Amino acid sequence: MKKLFTFFAVLLTVLILSACGTPDNGENDVRDDLIPQDPTVEDGYLVDNPQDGMILHAWNWSMSTIEENLEDIAIAGFSSVQISPMQPQKDYFGIASWSGNWWKLYQPLAFEIATEDHSIGTRDDLESLTQAADEFGIKIIVDVIANHLGGGDSETLNPNVADFEPEIYEEDLVRRGYGFVNDSSIEAVTHGAMGGFPTLQTDHETVQDRVLHLLKEYVDVGVRGFRFDAAKHIETPEDGEYASDFWPNVIGGIREYADNDLYIYGEILNTPGAGRSYVDYTPYMGITTNQVSDAIRNAVISGNLSALESVSFLDDVPADQSVLWPESHDDFAHDNTSGVSTSDLMKTYAAQASRKDATSLFFARPGSSTLMGEMGTNTWQRKEVVESNRFNNFFVGAEESISTQNGFFINERYDEDKAGFMIINIDSQRRFTDIELSHVPDGEYFDKVTGNTITVEDGKASGVLDRSGIGVIYDNPYEPKPVIRVSDLGEDAFRETLTLTITAHNATEAHYSIDGGEEISFSGETTIELSHPDDHAMITVEIFARYEDYEIRRTYTYEKSDVTVEEVTVNNLDASVIEDKVVAAWAWPQGQDGQWVEGELDNNTFTFDLPEGHDWFLLVTFPEGTEDFAWGDNIAQTGDVQVPASGIVDGSDLNWIE
């Protein structure tokens, strides 16, 4: 049984900015005047600033999955959704896991939109998505592969390219003899091969025409922005003997075709390469500034307040041409950020979202068993992300003033008629006292994360953050909309029982039903337990929430498994909590007493054998050298964790309590 020594009561009421409406899908009645056609602060909380608001990177989601979630995406404050490449893909084998198949979308066979055999949808699916997204003022941004196609090896094209791009294939428009890409020279950056696929002759008219053809196809089906993968490896007019007119022709051509109504940015990782400059690209597009992103994330992880306060944008690349992120899909897929806790990612995103003019991209991580086309996890709906987005959107164009005080990062945003501040704890304390504010007038403000009132008096603010360590403190006059969240999306099957936490924010009415049964009303947050006498049974939970005339309804499906878990692995544990400590598990069967279980700690992963019949556990730390575990000697512990059918738990989601 659990044994907790400290409890923190957190008020979860969140006041939400005005949301966009949704088309009537037959499940609920929606007022027509709640459906804005333009993304403005007055009509909702989507914005039409230089960066088009905040971007949700729906990596590997299918077009239908995104379309089904557009209302929630709008409510979460995202103005743009970035999708994976929709060009015909290499080696399509039907439904498959993301981990072994995502890269196939980055080795396309053609410069056209796929019409069949694609992991995330077809041209028709994309057109349906863009039409639906327009009703929410959301732009669809597509990832474009322009400098290469699928390879046979680093210097030959995949034979299937011939079926789609006969001219490129027959004229053999690839570069050879330059080795692999590196940053040592202009030649190496722009002409080297990137891996097991060849670099195209992007200076050739045929290649440029075909890339422009692809972009026009996208515009024709309603796409309103592009992210150019590996843009760094396509030459610019400033590259001397390796220069070409690719960017003027392709970007200029598509902007003219679309009346310039597009948001475009390119992937320029780490450096532009020797002898080159970021400003060679900025006349045509915004760019990724991962050095700035990495500096913010590393400062958060290390608790380096001075470094966090001093982070600046790249020379000659203004904030409104910079794209920030806590992590990219490459970081995640290549395991560069697997050890970063969810808490640190959230704090990084909040700090980035607080910044003036720049946009932040939130990468929606897939789960361990997520298939291509599926959403995977819903971290993009966490209140820290949602309220950071809304803060950013509300203060578009406002000034900023950054400071660090008493272990906190503070960014004040202000103009002549509104003011507020973002505050983030970097050293884990939650109570802030006498934080000096230079641009936020005295008065009462709401913390949108906790719902608490924060008073600014004599230019100073004090309060308590929720356990996320993020405070989003300002007032806004817009009507709130209901938000539904669940603690488990049903990605993995559960064992005997599943404890599910349901939250309905900003709802004047809410209820849920299980398998079409009785509608049970609740307010705020409630916990339900799912079970079924049959193995592999499917259980459906339907949740409804209303705020005045605005209604939303969500359905989630869960599967019971007959798998017996014998070993539990908890990965991504917070190193600052377990460092120089002994870790043990306290495990118990549902409703019964528990027992201590030793395990093996390897870096930030703890593995232990689960006693038969036990289905709950929590982790406990003890002083280094402890051999006999006893309550009272412990240093910190997590909350209760129900053992999933997979036996694998993401430790970055655990909350430690001393």
pLDDT of amino acid 395: 92
pLDDT of residue 202 exceeding 70: yes
What is the structure's pLDDT at 595? 96
Taking a C-beta distance cutoff of 8 angstroms, is the pair 144, 85 a contact? yes
Q: Is the pLDDT of residue 657 over 90?
A: no
Q: What sign has the CA pseudo-torsion 486, 490, 494, 496?
A: positive
Q: What is the pLDDT of residue 535?
A: 81
Per-residue pLDDT, 491: 75
pLDDT digits (tens, 9 = 90+) for 171-191: 999 999 999 999 999 999 999
Q: What are the domain boundaries of the chain?
A: 148-201, 399-474, 483-559, 567-657
Q: 108 pLDDT band (50/70/90 cuts)?
A: very high
Half-sphere exposure of 482 (CA within 13 A, CB side): 25
**399-474: in CATH 2.60.40.1180:** yes
What's the pLDDT at 35? 31
The CATH code of domain 567-657 reads 2.60.40
DSSP letter assigned to residue 89: P
Q: Is the pLDDT of residue 364 over 90?
A: yes
The full DSSP string for 80-106 is EEEE---SPPSS--SS-BSTTTGGGGG
Dist. CA 358–CA 372, nearest whole Å:
30
Is residue 415 within 8 Å of 408, Cβ to Cβ?
no
Q: DSSP letters of 442-480? A: SEEEEETTT--EEEEETTEEEEE--TT-EEEEE---SPP
The first and second tokens of residue 586, run together, are 């306290």
478 pLDDT higher than 80: no
Give the mean pLDDT of the chain.
87
Q: Do domains 399-474 and 567-657 have the same CATH topology?
A: yes
Residue 6 has pLDDT above 50, yes or no: no
Task: Give the residues across from 371 on adjacent strands.
Answer: 97
624, 584 in Cβ contact below 8 A?
Answer: no
Q: Identify the pLDDT of residue 477.
A: 65
Helix (H, G, I), strand (E, B) or coil at 174: strand
What's the CA gap between 8 and 6, in Å, rounded? Answer: 7
Indicate the pLDDT class of residue 167, thresholds 50, 70 and 90: very high
pLDDT digits (tens, 9 = 90+) for 298-337: 999 999 999 999 999 998 899 999 999 999 999 999 988 9
Predicted pLDDT of residue 439: 97
Per residue in 522-557, pLDDT (tens digit) is 998 899 999 998 888 999 999 999 887 788 899 999
What is the average per-residue pLDDT within 422-426? 96
**What is the average pLDDT across 568-595?**
92
- pLDDT at residue 480 in the model: 63
Calculate what percentage of the chain has a pLDDT beyond 70: 91
pLDDT of 38 over the 70 cut: no
Asked if the model's pLDDT at residue 14 lies above 50, the reply is: no
User: What is the pLDDT confidence band of residue 233, given thresholds at 50, 70 and 90?
Assistant: very high
DSSP class of residue 18 equals P
pTM of the shown model:
0.75
Give the pLDDT of residue 372: 95
Q: What does the alpha-carbon distance between residue 494 and residue 425 come to, in Å, rounded to a whole number?
A: 35
pLDDT digits (tens, 9 = 90+) for 40-81: 333 333 333 334 579 999 999 999 999 999 988 988 889 999
The pLDDT value given to residue 24: 31
Dihedral sign for Cα atoms in the order 184, 190, 192, 195: positive
Fold of 483-559: Immunoglobulin-like (2.60.40)
